[in-house]
Amino acid sequence: MLLSSFGDLKIQDWKKMIKHVLLLCLMIHCTIADPKAAVPVPIPPVPVSVPPLPKHTWLTLHGDEPFVVANGGFSGLYPPQTELAYSQSIIFGKGGTVLLCDLHMSRDGHGFCLSQLNLQNTTNAADAFPNRKKTYIVNGKELQGWFALDLTSDEMFDKLIVTQSIFSRTDLFDFLSPYPTDLYLEENRNALLWINAEYATFYNQHKLSLLDHMKQLVETKKDITYISSPEIGFLKSMGPVVHGLKTKLMFKFPIDRNAVEPTTNEPYASLLTKLPMIKTFATGIVVPREFIWPVNKARYLEPSTNLVADAHKQGLEVFAYGFANDNYLPHNYSYDVQREYLQFVDNSKFAVDGVVTDFPTSASTAIACLAGSKNASRKVPTLIISANGANGEYPGSTDLAYQKAVNDGADIIDCSVQMTKDGVAFCLPSVDLIPTTTASGPFMSRAAKVDSIQSSMGIFSFDFKWDEILSLKPQMFSEFNGDLIRDPARKNVGKFVTLSDFLEFAKAKAVPGVLINIENAAYLANKGLDVVGAVTTALSNATLDKQSTQKVLIMSGESSVLDKFKDIPTYQKVLHIKKQVEFVTNETALEIKKHADAVFLHKHSLYTQFRGEGFTLNFTNLIECLHWANVSVYAGTVLNEFQDIYMDYSSDPYSLIHNLIYYGADGIITQYPGTANAYTRNLCTGNLESYRIPDINPGDVITTSLDPKEVEEYKPPPPVHLETKDFVTPPLPAVAAISKDDDKGSASSNNTNTNAPSSPSPPPEQAQTPSTATATTINVVAIFFSAMLGLVTLL
């Protein structure tokens, strides 16, 4: 009976039935995704095709591309001068990355790569050898600690562990032994190598010869690319040794210009003026980067010196050292690590011949991908959305922040709408005036606590008239304090902007789109302030509701606000998921689709974290399921400051942006639009012959660097689920009729939670995590029905 009924079905009925079954399978596949398991490797967006690149003209001594020198390997992430640090710099650096080893010697005359003479901060020597602490005179100064020359090579192998010398960096990989120089040569025989012999005179004083050991190394590997030293006598002695070889001898200047060179007894500052003399025994010089671009005490760049030009006139190569992504950079760079590299290799006057860096991936990106790209077209189509304008470089939501965002290539500029007591809608990052204005000085007495808005006391815009707001100054808000504070010279610059002026500015500048962020609408309505009405009117007056040339995005964390704009099809509605989440069911994804076309997700919601160590572990299922529900994903907020970036991404915003897009983000929300725009114009995307910015899947770093058992044994906490109660809110109340002259409606007299939503429907029951076999079976079924759907489409 059942078969005969099937036989009566028409082709159209078969199509409908298979489509419904396929939809059911895809829904099941999305829902049962194991929140602890890795989502399938994402397919990156198709980049804009590019023609072959013209050869770049470099202002280096010989016109060649500058070298990237990995200082002790990938020492920004791994303990320096270890086997792991060197191997990872080869994997992730551009072709021709040079591996630098600082040569030191054990008591029995064996050479090791060690980043410092004093082992106290670079190894566990103090714990392993508590009674070996010594004091030596080094270059005329007393130095106390632990030293390799007091240990045998066997002791170093058996008990010594190399550690990160910079305490702000991770200690997760502090389990590696010191790296002998003979093993360094053998295991990296196909790489370009650099050996720095820093303390030849000191070792000679203790009957150990760096010179003899270096002769042995050169005999073993005749093509060591560079040998450097700050001692003229050592380099002159090495001259006959490397004669006829391709090895280049480099004279290294220490950071302290007033230090005395041991062979000549002259200060290095004096030797810096004797470049013709240096040319008689060296091929080039290695100098601190501040010798080329000086930085004043306030951390601003000063005009460049003539050192590079003068050295190039003498035929000397120039390498600059001291580069690291976690440096406290001059304010001129806005914490954009690539801008510092480009300052040395891609300015119109000169280019150094190489950079010595703790982060070879970032230097590789700067030199191979970003140099020469200033006027290039965009290769990556992902949307760039500002966060309060260029909030990282100017006080947020000011005229200067918006102008900078436009100049820096933002596709969408944003206004977080706040309301004054007298009904003026204006742009400001927060309803609380304390972080982003100077209100805390003159108006601290008007601070209040509004539980429905924030848990702390605040000074709120809706308690002020517009004239009072104008009496204040904008204030640069820094996500981090101390040495990572943002440019103090711009702390209070710029002007406040009304919503109407913001929209007129966007139209005049022909910005591709605007994003209007609306929060606290219910609370404001109860105070007699109609923020939704103000936005609707302003958009209408700007005629942005009657055209499709410029995009209009309406964003809110409240579904009831987005629903107010559902009748305007040209507006894209963006749901702001304010908390960090790790899992979403298909039911919740479909509920989001009822209210929004896109979501703004915290960037860390795209991956889980390993043990709170600042490393990723697995993909979450959010992008996969939201895309399945036809909801776009905007990830943010992306900052340039290194402390905000997981270490998988080398503390580099370019690496983070690249991988957020690789994971499937449809847009990047950032306080530094210029950085995102520079990434989208990089010359490597779409160019198969160039260096590739690394695609880093969550968990790649820890699984390749740690014992697999250690990773497997980690049991992450249960994933935080995104639920409908997080965003579904009751309909907005009617706007209260309150006299404009009534001051009793201040926050201090009305701090009840009027914005608290009523209890929504309970979220759908969460699916059980399936076994691997079950998930595999469902994948096969989904593929089968996909094929069936393709077949019936042809009928």
Q: Is the pLDDT of residue 15 over 60?
A: no
| Residue 30: predicted pLDDT | 55
CA angle 509, 514, 519 (to 5 degrees): 140
Could you give the CA distance from residue 6 to residue 3 in angstroms, rounded to a whole number? 5
How confident is the model over 18-38, as a mean pLDDT?
Answer: 44
State the maximum Cα–Cα separation within the chain, in Å, rounded to a whole number.
105
| Closest-CA residue to 358 (of 133, 71, 583, 614) | 71
Residue 313 has φ and ψ, to the nearest 5°, of -65, -30
Question: In this model, does residue 776 exceed pLDDT 60?
Answer: no
Is the predicted pLDDT of residue 683 greater than 50, yes or no?
Answer: yes
**Which tens digit of pLDDT belongs to each residue from 359-409?**
999 999 999 999 999 999 999 999 999 999 999 999 999 999 999 999 999
Lowest mean pLDDT among 469-473, 479-483, 521-525, 644-648: 479-483
Q: For residue 56, what pLDDT is reported? A: 79
Tokens of 174: 């502090």
- Closest C-alpha to 722, from 31, 15, 28, 55: 31
- Check residue 167 and give its pLDDT: 85
Lowest mean pLDDT among 9-13, 200-204, 587-591, 706-710: 9-13
pLDDT per residue over 342-359, tens digit each? Answer: 999 999 999 999 999 999
Q: What pLDDT is attached to residue 17?
A: 45
Is the per-residue pLDDT at 1 higher than 80?
Answer: no
Task: Report the pLDDT value the prediction gives residue 548, as an integer from 0 to 100.
Answer: 84
CA separation for the pair 521, 352 (Å, rounded)? 55
Q: Say whether pLDDT at 315 is over 80.
A: yes
SS3 labels along 309-338: HHHHHCCCEEEEEEECCCCCCCHHHCCCHH
Tokens representing 581 are 């989440």
The pLDDT value given to residue 45: 55
Radius of gyration of the chain (CA): 31
Angle value at C-alpha 781, between 780 and 785, nearest 5 degrees: 120
Tell me if 550 sits within 8 A of 513, measured CB to CB: yes
Assess whether pLDDT exceeds 50 at residue 274.
Answer: yes
The mean per-residue pLDDT over the stretch 528-540 comes to 98
**Cα–Cα dist 665/601, whole Å:** 9
Asked if pLDDT for residue 46 goes beyond 70, the answer is: no
Query: What is the reported pLDDT for 53?
Result: 55
Predicted pLDDT of residue 478: 86
Q: Are strands 412-419 and 513-517 parallel, antiparallel or unpaired?
A: parallel
**DSSP H helical ranges for 664-771:** 673-680, 700-705, 708-713
Look-up: residue for tokens 């440019």? 487
Between 53 and 441, name the one with better pLDDT: 441
- Which of 16, 8, 1, 2 has the alpha carbon at shortest distance from 795? 16
Output the pLDDT for position 103.
98
Amino acid making up residue 616: T
Tell me the C-alpha distance between 315 and 276, whole Å.
9
Query: What's the whole-model pTM score?
Result: 0.88
Q: pLDDT tens digit string along 145-172?
A: 999 999 999 999 999 999 998 988 999 9
Burial 161-198 (b: 16+ CB within 10 A, else e): bbbbbeeebbebbbebbbbbbbebbeebeebbbbbbbb
250-270: pLDDT as tens digits: 999 999 999 999 999 999 999
What is the per-residue burial (b if ≥16 Cβ within 10 Å, else e) of 25-50?
bbbbbbbbbbbbeebeebeeeebeeb
Q: Which two tokens stand for residue 62?
A: 């010989």
Kindly state the helix (H) or strand (E) to which residue 456 belongs, with its residue range.
none
Of the candidates 182, 183, 212, which has an alpha carbon nearest to the alpha carbon of residue 197? 212
Three-state DSSP class for 260? strand
Determine contact, residues 476/490, Cβ cutoff 8 Å.
Answer: yes
What is the rounded CA–CA span in Å between residue 87 and residue 173?
14
Prior bond of 536 cis (ω within 30°): no
Q: Which residue has the higher pLDDT, 208 or 773?
A: 208
Residue 200 confidence (pLDDT) above 70: yes
What proportion of the chain, given as a percentage, has pLDDT over 90? Answer: 83
702 pLDDT higher than 90? yes
- Cα 774 to Cα 36, 777, 778: the distances in Å are 15, 5, 6
Per the prediction, the chain carries an average pLDDT of: 89
pLDDT score recorded for residue 44: 52
First to last CA, the chain: 26
Asked whether residue 792 carries a pLDDT value surpassing 90, the answer given is no
Rounded to whole angstroms, how far apart are CA atoms 161 and 124?
A: 6
Residue 777 has pLDDT above 50, yes or no: no
pLDDT tops 50 at residue 789: no
List, in sequence order, the alpha helices (H) in 602-757: 622-628, 653-663, 673-680, 700-705, 708-713
pLDDT at 130: 97
Is the pLDDT confidence value at 16 over 70? Answer: no
Instruction: Flag the least confident range among 263-277, 379-393, 502-516, 771-785.
Output: 771-785
Residues 627-670 pLDDT 10s:
999 999 999 999 999 999 999 999 999 999 999 999 999 999 99
| Residues in CB range of 18: below 8 A, 6 or more apart | 785, 788, 789, 792
Cβ–Cβ < 8 Å for 516, 535: yes
C-alpha angle 531-537-538 in degrees, rounded to nearest 5: 90
Sequence-distant (≥ 6) Cβ neighbours of residue 688 within 8 angstroms: none
Inter-axis angle of helices 673-680 and 399-407, to 10 degrees?
A: 10
Taking the C-alpha atoms of residue 161 and residue 145, their distance in angstroms, rounded to an integer, is 16
CA distance 413 to 667: 13
Give me the count of residues in the chain: 795
- Whether residue 756 is predicted with pLDDT greater than 90 in this model: the reply is no
Strand pairing class (616-619; 632-638): unpaired
Q: What is the pLDDT of residue 54?
A: 59
Q: How confident is the model at residue 4 (pLDDT cuts 50, 70, 90)?
A: very low
Strands 412-419 and 425-427: antiparallel
At 104-131, the pLDDT tens digits run: 999 999 999 999 999 999 999 999 999 9
> DSSP letter at 669?
E
Which residue pairs, CB below 8 angstroms and at least 24 apart, start in 105-109? 105/148, 105/149, 105/203, 105/208, 105/210, 105/213, 106/148, 106/149, 106/151, 106/152, 106/153, 106/155, 106/156, 107/148, 107/149, 107/150, 107/151, 107/152, 107/208, 108/152, 108/153, 109/208, 109/213
Distance between CA atoms of residues 652 and 646, nearest Å: 9
3-state secondary structure 125-153: HHHHCCCCCEEEEECCEEEEECEHHHCCH
Beta bridge mates, 417: 427
329 contacts 301 by C-beta, under 8 angstroms: no
CB of 621 within 8 A of CB of 33?
Answer: yes
Contact (CB, 8 A) for 584 and 545: no
pLDDT at 688: 86
